[in-house]
Structure 1
Amino acid sequence: MSWVDSIVFLSRDLLPVAAVAAVLVVLVSVWGYGRSRLPMRLKLTGITLKTLGILLLGFCLLEPQWVDKKAKPGANFIAVLADNSQGMEIRDAGSATSRAEELAAILKPQPGDWQEALDENFQIRRYSFDTRLRTTGDFDSLDFKGRASALVGSTRNLGQRFSGRPLAGILLFSDGNATDIESLNDGLGQMPPVYPVVMGKQSPIKDISIASVQVTSSTFEDAPVVIHCQLAATDFPAEKIVARLLDADGKVLDTQYPALGQAMKVKFEVKPESLGVSFYTVELGQTAQTEGEAGEEEATLANNRRVVAVERRKEPFRILYVAGRPNWEYKFLKRALDDDPQVDLVGLIRIAKREPKFVFKGRDGESSNPLFRGFRGDEEEEGSYDKPILKRLNVKSEDELKDGFPKNAGDLFGYHAIIIDDLESAFFMPHQRELIRRAVSERGAGFMMLGGQESFSQGGYENTPIDELLPVYLQRSGNVSPVDNLAFGLERDGWLSQWVRLRKTEADEKDRLEDMPKFRVLNQVDRIKPGASVMASVLGEDNKRMPALVVQRYGHGKSGALLIGDMWRWQMAGKNKNEDLPRAWRQIIRWLVTDVPSRVQLATEADSGAAGLGRRLIVKARNEEFKPLGFANVELSVMPNGDESQAVDLSVDPSSTEAGAFESLYIPREEGGYVARAVVRDENGKTIGDVEAGWASNPAADEFRSLQPNIALMEDLAKRTGGRVLDVSELTEWAREMPSKQSPVMDSFQTPLWHLPWMFAAALLLLVTEWWLRRRHWLP
């Protein structure tokens, strides 16, 4: 409320009288000074003095009152919120006490302190928080052993607890290192002013820690999983730090040292021995000391260790390989994938385009094979000459592909990728070509066409749905010149993609490329489509470079074109002929099926609402056409460290935002790895998916991720709620000022301004000064 609004007049009805009297007096004064021979400066001074004096007397005539508000004693609440997490045990550089000890001393009541000043006008309610908000009668129960700091959530929950009650403010004591800081993006809701008191100060605290860990899967065969670690160190040289990777049994698998003069990063490349979820531990330590030399003392060891979850898919990816004729490409591709337990290659190979005709045994006008005529004359039982002879390979049931290439989405969408090799477009019916396009764009499958005499343009794929999803334009301009002795090489995008390279270093990769045999078969194209990437090319005898491997994203899936038609030659020559081609095929196939969804998916996400410890489990179920499943029976359980004997069954609720999705929340109680398992059944009780997902809980490492107080977060909380950050030395003064600040319940009081002695003295001084000025210059 502004000072103008704080003034009220009890005698507003006298305003006309006061105004008329004041105007008359001022006019008479102006007339009198106007007739005098005084200098203009003195005339204006006299008029001003009399005018101000008369106005001040008129102001008093209206009986002005100063109205002010003050918090009603005992009617409002003040919440005092203290951080009880183990992160408060940190001791700042140069300090003899920890932040916890300093906070305990501040919270201990003393005569005449800030708590006593607050208690005179407010009801004080005391709370502490770590993993959750707790009520406390006093702060003697603080032990500073909490596993996490739910600072944002506790502050929000405290405001909700007092919804509808007169809460004047929240006094927050913390270092600001919240483990649920992400939940601040959800807002705080209706909150009273928050007054943070930052415990600790910015200082160089000697410590090394693992700031973050990220796991990425790779199609590179030697290292399918890479663990990236971001390290942090204060007053520790990099040469004294060592990072180790341990398996679940505590065996050291790898040791890394941070590079000098670079960012504190290390990475571990591992290949889990078993499928499913595996757990590893990353530890930081100091390098071995010489005899008699002591290691450096750290602020805490809790942030030197993190458990990491690594997932390798249990259920194999299923790939449908369709070929126009038996060839060596399938032989070497099948041989390469036999060593990969995560991939099943299902083959559908045409042995002959049409069934042999025994015309001399048939009847005139008969198009079917007389050997299959039967005795009932049923045309459906007779074999047509026009049907190709197909060979099914590696099918999982007798019914799979028994009618040839799938004719409906339910059958085709069961495959994670489709490979077409040396097969013309006419082999497929129009709706089958459309199904292939939908499998990539809607289902998210991978697609690749291999080169051959009946592939791409030579296969008549122009202006078909398959032409639409290919990364190259099939239409050619001009004549096609014969090619031979094609040298294979990588393009820029290929050098940057792990799944295209076969060696770890550029020098080794160049040596490998030089040793590759020359190819002789290529489906030539003029242009690639916008958004596509050329991974590899071939160089002809005329030094003309032509695309050899082109890929692109298409809808929810991806597509590729391998334009070389005789990849099998790679197996016949070169120093590593028995290793490189199988490895290249495996990496190409892994890229093709990476990120391809299954009918049932289980994902885990960090839930910031439980102090950052909770994990939200999301199950997505789809029908055979990969549309959200309307009804599903979902069984969800969590196994600490993957131990089925300790499995905990969870309740599952349908998602309110996404059809076919089901959610649950799990809060781990201990540090370590956790495996979630979801079994989904349809309305008929048939199991359509049994999947697992894992994660690691590292509450101590998260709590000590940063040892410096988060002043920015505390300032943000104060700014969002209309409070301000306080220093410890300001607490008593703040407590005495609080009654005059805006509170939910206020008392009003009035002070008569016209009764104040200085008001009459000011009016009298103005008039006496004006009278003295007139007498000084002999005016009446």
Structure 2
Amino acid sequence: MIELGYTPPWWALVAGGALLIILIAWSYATSVGRPRGFTKWTLVLLRFTAIALAFLCWLNPQWVEREERQPPSQVAILLDTSRSMSIQDADPEGRLAEAREWLQQHLLPAVPHHVQILPYFFDVTLHPITNNLSITPQVFDSLSPTGTATAIASSLESLNTISPNGGPPTAVILCSDGIETESGDLMALARWHRRKGIPIHTVCVGTTNDMRDIIIENVQIRRPVGSNAPARIIATISSPGFTGFQVPIQIRFLQRVLAQQTIFLSGGRQQIEFEFRPPFRQYQVYNIHIPPEAGEWLPTNNRRAFGLEATDLTLRVLYMEGTPMQNNAPQPEWRYLKTALESDPQIKVKVLYRTRFRGFQGGFIPEADIEPGEEVYPVEHLTKGYPRTLEELQNFDVIIHSDIPKDMFSTEQLANTVHWVEELGGGFVMIGGKSAFGTGGYHRTPLDRLIPVAMESSNDTLNQAFRMSLPNHAWKHPLIAIGTNPEETTAIWTTRLPLLYGLNRVNRPKPGATVLAVHPFERNADGPLVVLAVQEIGKGRTMAFTSDITRSWGKDFETLWGELTQPQAFWDEYNCDQRYYRRFWINAVRWLAANRLTRTNSPVTLDLPQTLIRPGDFLEPVIHVRDAAGRPASSAEVRITLSAPGAADRIEQATFDPALQAFRARFSMPVAGDFTLRAEAILHSTKLGEDKQLIVCEESNKEMLDVRARPETMAAVARISGGRSLDTHNHQFAQLRSLFGSPPPPQVEIRRQPMWDKAWLMMAIIGLLATEWILRRLRGLA
């Protein structure tokens, strides 16, 4: 159709037309020669038509075309992929799987043909899933809940700028658990959407129930340890929702379970301490693991990795025996205890004997220990006897002193022994006899500081048969627990326990000592006579056994504490397996050496306050460095190396802290990942040793502190924006289809094309005027 760009009023058109006719008439009336008849009206028509066409051009005629199009409605789907969407509360596959299933099976089939879906996922920021305008239900399959935060407000805000048409969508469907961790006014954005007529329909997934989860928060290692020797692990565990549950906790290497212990969960934060034996030498990465419980929300945090270096740390015992071989004994007295201890492959025993009972006249005559092929030397041997320096004492973890006269030791040897226990964590036990405790005069020596009983009498021996008795508090001590269960332990220490035939009558236990066994009826002014007592002394441990383990007072103790090998035969040394005697002394030695077991053969020990840290936080390792004498090596150069696969090593120097008597370093962790931290010490250009630990650096996640869903937040967003609040149980087709609204009004596009500048129109005007002029010339009128 044709429209005029300028339309004057009707009266102007009439006036203009009349004026045009008058002017044409006047022009012909006053012209030279007056045309008549047909010629006159032809000339008038030609001139009128030309002027009319020129006037039409002045009115700006336009060719107008009108086209209508039906635009699609653009509806944005925002799907939360933060870590909280992995919680397995309402759906065993997790919240994201629940939302994805609802979208694929119920919402997308209800989309009308006029609606274009814009799929997005968000965590910290908003991202389009695909740029393809034609989507399928499988478009959500590749998403996983790995985001470190949830930014609902900023995602809604950025939606208005990244949509394909450059403007906001007609509606938004928000699928989330409602946990907002970032700054942003979510309700203000909901009000903005209402003003723009963009409803936000919310779909909340997850439950508001109290959290049910088992979390291994941190792992500490009392380390390093020997290969196949016990390592002490301290795990910090939280267990909301599982109060009173009994669960196994495992140590794994790859898929192999190395140790397992059953624990009771408190429902809050608790520390679990237990031991396992690493089967491999050198540095290895292990996992502490609790199998997921039914109904647990986030099973991925039931596992925590830690590094452990296992070295060849054999427990070494120096055993000094003062009782000579008896005529009626089949073997030397020291061999009973040595054989019992070495039944544990991780214990090696060196034996020293008392010379004056062996016909010693001059020089040293070694006695062959035929079975292992070792040699036994006198206590006072210049090179093979009792260590004369602190450095030599460092080769042992436990010293057993059984009836050795004090004059066989120099003052320096006794002082070194005290230092070795108090400062270097050694274990010391004194066993009774005619040369022990007060009778042996040890209350007047430096060893009096170590022994857990007061021994002021110089004549304290008592020859009397008795069966020692255990106080009630003793049953819980690890040294006593030699049965497989409490019932067996009770039987071992009561009905199975043989008689003892004497003891040293010490005065009383010292303050801080723990009495584990007493005489059943003999007492003094301080109470029952002490038979067995233990004590923590400085960094070490000590024990007093006031009876004997040899054929004087302990003839049955060393030979008959066990089970019959032939039940029908007579009970004697040859028909008893001595199993409880072995268990007791292995238990005792391991308890005494516990503070040595936490050390390594290397003089460098790396201690970490935590093995789990966040990027950017500061780590403050403490490095203990000892010289050959076991003293802090303050002049050493200590270097810390932080390494990770595919990254350059980071090296830091540690400085000596006089207050701690150890080296300290402080540095921030760069990025998330698993790192190996190695401490290396060099003294006088000689490497003293090194130690390693595993550091796990993870982003902290504020939303994981409380992972309960927020349906009230999601409902408020829907209400304020003019949308509807839904959940994944809304399956009705008509209800879901109504979310997309009616089709928008059609878009009308009008195209205008000017006509006055057309060549044909100009040629027509010129042609009419030229024809009129030619006709006038031919008629002699011009």
Shorter-chain TM-score: what band? 0.5 to 0.7
Report what 2:755 is aligned to.
Answer: none
1:580–1:93 distance in 2 versus 1, CA, 3 Å: closer
1:553–1:229 distance in 2 versus 1, CA, 3 Å: closer
Aligned partners of 1:92 and 1:99 also within 8 Å: no
1:403–1:704 distance in 2 versus 1, CA, 3 Å: farther
Report what 2:655 is aligned to.
Answer: 654
Separation in 1 of the partners of 2:673 and 2:375? 44
1:450–1:679 distance in 2 versus 1, CA, 3 Å: farther
Report what 1:592 is aligned to.
Answer: 592
Q: Which has the larger radius of gyration?
A: 2
1:622–1:251 distance in 2 versus 1, CA, 3 Å: closer
Tell me how far 1:500 sits from its aligned partner: 2.4
Separation in 1 of the partners of 2:263 and 2:700? 19
Aligned partners of 2:234 and 2:273 also within 8 Å: yes
Give the one of 242, 250, 254 matched to 1:249.
254
Aligned partners of 1:302 and 1:701 also within 8 Å: no
1:682–1:531 distance in 2 versus 1, CA, 3 Å: same
Separation in 2 of the partners of 1:254 and 1:412? 33
Separation in 1 of the partners of 2:606 and 2:302? 30
1:533–1:667 distance in 2 versus 1, CA, 3 Å: same
Separation in 2 of the partners of 1:654 and 1:638? 17
> 1:348-363 to 2 correspondence within 5 Å?
348-352=352-356
Show CA shifts across 1:94-132 (max 9, x none).
Answer: 999998699534235869x9xxxxxxxxxxxxxxxxxxx
Count of matched residue positions in the alignment of Structure 1 and Structure 2: 505
Residue 307 of structure 1 aligns with an amino acid whose one-letter code is A
Asked if residue 344 in structure 1 is aligned to residue 348 in structure 2, the reply is yes
Tell me how far 1:550 sits from its aligned partner: 1.1
Residue 653 of structure 1 aligns with an amino acid whose one-letter code is A
% identical aligned pairs: 20
Residue 632 of structure 2 aligns with an amino acid whose one-letter code is P
Asked if residue 273 in structure 1 is aligned to residue 320 in structure 2, the reply is no
Give the one of 439, 448, 453 matched to 2:429.
448
> Alignment partner of 2:299: what SS?
coil
> 1:3-82 to 2 correspondence within 5 Å?
none
> Alignment partner of 2:498: what SS?
coil
Residue 485 of structure 2 aligns with an amino acid whose one-letter code is T
Separation in 2 of the partners of 1:352 and 1:478? 21
Give the one of 557, 560, 564 matched to 1:570.
557
Asked if residue 528 in structure 1 is aligned to residue 509 in structure 2, the reply is yes
TM-score, normalised via structure 2 length = 0.52
> Alignment partner of 2:430: what SS?
strand
Separation in 2 of the partners of 1:610 and 1:458? 61
Separation in 1 of the partners of 2:617 and 2:310? 24
Q: Superposition RMSD on alpha carbons, in Å? A: 5.5
Report what 1:510 is aligned to.
Answer: 490
Asked if residue 301 in structure 1 is aligned to residue 299 in structure 2, the reply is yes
Tell me how far 1:619 sits from its aligned partner: 2.6
Residue 706 of structure 1 aligns with an amino acid whose one-letter code is L
Separation in 2 of the partners of 1:654 and 1:281? 33
Separation in 2 of the partners of 1:515 and 1:696? 49
Separation in 2 of the partners of 1:267 and 1:607? 16
> Alignment partner of 2:443: what SS?
coil
Give the one of 467, 485, 490 matched to 2:470.
490
1:325–1:302 distance in 2 versus 1, CA, 3 Å: same
Show CA shifts across 1:569-588 (max 9, x none).
Answer: 33422443432222221111
Asked if residue 549 in structure 1 is aligned to residue 532 in structure 2, the reply is yes
Separation in 2 of the partners of 1:440 and 1:267? 25
Residue 407 of structure 1 aligns with an amino acid whose one-letter code is R
Report what 2:635 is aligned to.
Answer: 631
Show CA shifts across 1:299-354 (max 9, x none).
Answer: 43332333355665633343333333556553233223334454433333233379
1:228–1:438 distance in 2 versus 1, CA, 3 Å: closer
Show CA shifts across 1:439-462 (max 9, x none).
Answer: 222333222111222111221212
Give the one of 367, 385, 388 matched to 1:407.
388
Aligned partners of 1:217 and 1:224 also within 8 Å: yes
TM-score, normalised via structure 1 length = 0.52
Report what 1:707 is aligned to.
Answer: 706
1:343–1:606 distance in 2 versus 1, CA, 3 Å: same
> Alignment partner of 1:601: what SS?
strand
Separation in 2 of the partners of 1:173 and 1:91? 25
Residue 697 of structure 1 aligns with an amino acid whose one-letter code is V
Separation in 2 of the partners of 1:271 and 1:704? 37
Give the one of 412, 416, 426 matched to 1:431.
412
Tell me how far 1:470 sits from its aligned partner: 1.3
Separation in 2 of the partners of 1:660 and 1:229? 26
Aligned partners of 1:489 and 1:538 also within 8 Å: yes
Aligned partners of 1:283 and 1:305 also within 8 Å: yes
> Alignment partner of 2:442: what SS?
coil
Aligned partners of 1:443 and 1:626 also within 8 Å: yes
Show CA shifts across 1:501-539 (max 9, x none).
Answer: 102432211111211211113222121111111122243
Give the one of 506, 519, 524 matched to 2:500.
519
Separation in 1 of the partners of 2:347 and 2:668? 32
> 1:145-544 to 2 correspondence within 5 Å?
203-204=208-209, 207-212=212-217, 230-234=237-241, 243=248, 245=250, 247-252=252-257, 270-274=276-280, 279-286=286-293, 296=295, 299-307=297-305, 314-326=312-324, 330-352=334-356, 385=362, 402=383, 404-476=385-457, 481-484=462-465, 486-513=466-493, 514-539=495-520
1:613–1:548 distance in 2 versus 1, CA, 3 Å: farther
> Alignment partner of 1:458: what SS?
coil
Separation in 2 of the partners of 1:442 and 1:223? 23
Residue 487 of structure 1 aligns with an amino acid whose one-letter code is R
Report what 2:583 is aligned to.
Answer: 583
| Structure 2: runs of 5+ lacking an equivalent | 1-79, 100-121, 127-148, 161-175, 187-204, 326-331, 564-576, 709-715, 718-782
Separation in 2 of the partners of 1:335 and 1:666? 52
Aligned partners of 1:638 and 1:676 also within 8 Å: yes
Residue 351 of structure 2 aligns with an amino acid whose one-letter code is G
> Alignment partner of 1:515: what SS?
coil
> Alignment partner of 1:547: what SS?
strand
Show CA shifts across 1:165-219 (max 9, x none).
Answer: xxxxx97999xxxxxxxxxxxxxxxxxxxxxxxxx99942554222446678899
